[in-house]
Amino acid sequence: MVKVNKMIHGFHHIAISVENIERSIGFYKEFGFEEEKRFVREDLKGKAAMLKLGDTRLEIWEFEDGIAPKDNLSVSKLEGCAILHLRLRIWALYTRS
């Protein structure tokens, strides 16, 4: 029998799209976020930065055309929304008994 644990204890990160990544990094640093890493995704025509504040991370994306590409399944299809995805922090989802 598989038992589902209810061990969600916070968010790992939230990803948002921004118009200008450099300006946005500066903005979030004003609130105490620290830059953890940057990366580029050529396939998405975008660049991103992971910012950290305590145990929470904010992943900010800047796309060449201003929105995430429609034809890429790894990115949300919700063009008009700023949040790309939400990831929960969990201890363990399943255990065997």
> Among residues 38, 58, 41, which one has the least CA distance to residue 49?
38
How much is the average pLDDT of 45-67?
88
Domain count, the chain: 1
| Greater model confidence, 73 or 32 | 32
What's the predicted TM-score (pTM) here?
0.65
* Model confidence at 73: pLDDT above 50: no
65: phi then psi, degrees, rounded to nearest 5 = -95, 5
| Alpha carbon distance 22, 3 (integer Å) | 45
pLDDT of 85 strictly over 80 = no
Q: What are the backbone angles phi and psi of residue 63, rounded to the nearest 5°?
A: -105, 145
Mean pLDDT of the chain: 76
- The residue range of the domain holding 28 is 2-96
Q: For residue 65, what is the domain's CATH number? A: 3.10.180.10
Question: Given the structure tokens 């305590």, which residue do they identify?
Answer: 54
User: 12: pLDDT confidence band, cut at 50, 70 and 90?
Assistant: confident
